[in-house]
Structure 1
Amino acid sequence: MYTEREMVLDALQIAKSGAVKLTQAATESSNPALRQTLLQMRNNCEQSQQQIGQFAQSKRFYIPAPPAGQQDVASINQFLQQSVNQPTLV
């Protein structure tokens, strides 16, 4: 029999996995209307994941990593901006 903790963490994992799969489907879709629907479904899935995550945290079933420091965030942002501006090799 599942404990409450196991059920909550399973639901959290299912929501995370769903968001990943919907994002993948949206990026592979050539139909703009379908892509938009998939992205909306992904957004809804992310909202569910956040709610489940908050519930899990309130029950102490899930303890997230501490927030990154400002310097780390700035370094990552700079790296990502440089990566986006790099020419692609085809």
Structure 2
Amino acid sequence: MLADEDPQVVNYGHLLQENRISPHILRHWFSVKLTLYGEDVAGLMNWRGDKSPESALTYLMDKSELEKQYEIVSDEVFNYSLWKAGKINEQSR
């Protein structure tokens, strides 16, 4: 992944080296994605296998904060991509 031409893949490679990934982290990521795509409590409970709505409600109650954080990360990835593209263009001259 670190040798890939796609800066986003390289970024993921660095993240994988620096952070331990557990099933809990993947479940959280999946739950955030489902929330941002508009799943309701019943949908989240179904996908996550929850018996109680408490966990799903936590994501829905924090949806505006999740959207804000997602926007920040998305902007940073975009800025990094622009920076990296500029570096590649400078090297090819």
TM-score bucket of the superposed structures, by smaller chain:
0.3 to 0.5
TM-score (norm 2): 0.38
TM-score, structure 1 as length reference: 0.39
- Higher RCO (C-alpha 8 Å, min separation 6): 1
